[in-house]
A = this chain, B = another copy of it.
């Protein structure tokens, strides 16, 4: 819950600001990009000057939200002067300096007033004003409340951006963070004309032939441990070549074995071109995989974590499997 005093201050700061910069975490997801676009649309309606720049480029998947071309890839020489001129910076979907990348460094050097809007556990006090609700299904849900409080016209781009937040962060209303409020937000946005079919298609139905080929390769390499509770597979450089696929196209692959009866934990071992193995761990929710990733210098969430290990697949796979099996002891 965000208290009334905090709301009052956010609304006040927003009304008074003239030049606002907006940013989010590295490797932004749908909630991060959606929140940025939503906040920028709210501010544009109020006649404010807005700049959005992120450490990472915008994933192609979310290009459809960037119709105005406002989201830029951070470039110190162009963006640091904008930061100097700005009277407000809004940090979305993250409260961790490290995960703000180069933009975080620039923000720390600047003395612009900062507001952080987020629904994760607070890592750092990245802003003077922290607007955090751990109960919110997504950052977009907080921005939705904000839009109402400032009397924004919630339609068009703004509504689409907000819908993308709640759709993607709840995995189409199925992940554990799906709340009654998330559903009611979706209901309202659909009433306001959001093309929900099209947004689903843009987000979830954009597989490349390379990615679908990798899926087949991954299935053929499926192995099971602990009576089927653990499912694992490898993605080799050879597979990538055979499928004419890029490394980033392995992105959603670790989700695949989730759909198999009885599987609790899935592990993807992806061989990089530089002699590393990227280990991606997913859990259906009964076992935490975060500590396992942490043990090997990685991190993440309880049910989605990862690590990068030096070595070959033959070296890394047995080490990780040993630890994974121990999760069920």
Residue of B nearest to A178 (CB): B196
Are B284 and A201 closer than 8 Å at their CB atoms?
A: yes
Within 8 A of B (CB), among A283-298: 284-285
Known A-B contacts A183-B186, A187-B184, A190-B183; A219 and B208 likewise in contact (beta carbons under 8 Å): no
- 8 Å CB contacts to B: which residues of A264-319? 284-285
Given the complex, which residues of B lie within 8 Å of A108, measured CB to CB? none
A196 and B179 alpha carbons, distance in the complex (Å)? 10
Residues of A within 8 A of B (CB): 172-176, 178-181, 183-184, 186-188, 190-191, 196-197, 200-201, 204-209, 212-213, 215-216, 219-220, 222, 224, 257-261, 263, 284-285
Q: Within 8 Å CB of A258, what residues of B?
A: 205
> Once the chains bind, are A215 and B219 in contact (CB under 8 Å)?
yes
**Which residues of B have CB within 8 Å of A209?**
222, 224, 260
> Cα distance A181–B184 when bound, in Å?
9
Q: Determine the residue in chain B with the shortest Cβ distance to A184.
A: B187
Interface contact B219-A212, CB-CB below 8 Å: yes
Bound-state CA distance A201–B183 (Å) is 19
Q: How far is the CB of A40 from chain B (nearest CB, A)?
A: 26
Residues in chain B near residue A220, CB distance under 8 A: 216
A245 → chain B closest CB, angstroms: 13
Min CB–CB distance A210 → chain B (angstroms): 10
Which residues of chain B are near A207, meaning CB under 8 Å?
A: 259-261
Between A and B, 17 residue pairs with Cβ closer than 8 Å are A173-B173, A173-B186, A174-B197, A174-B200, A176-B197, A180-B187, A180-B191, A183-B183, A197-B285, A204-B259, A205-B258, A206-B261, A207-B259, A207-B260, A209-B222, A212-B222, A219-B219
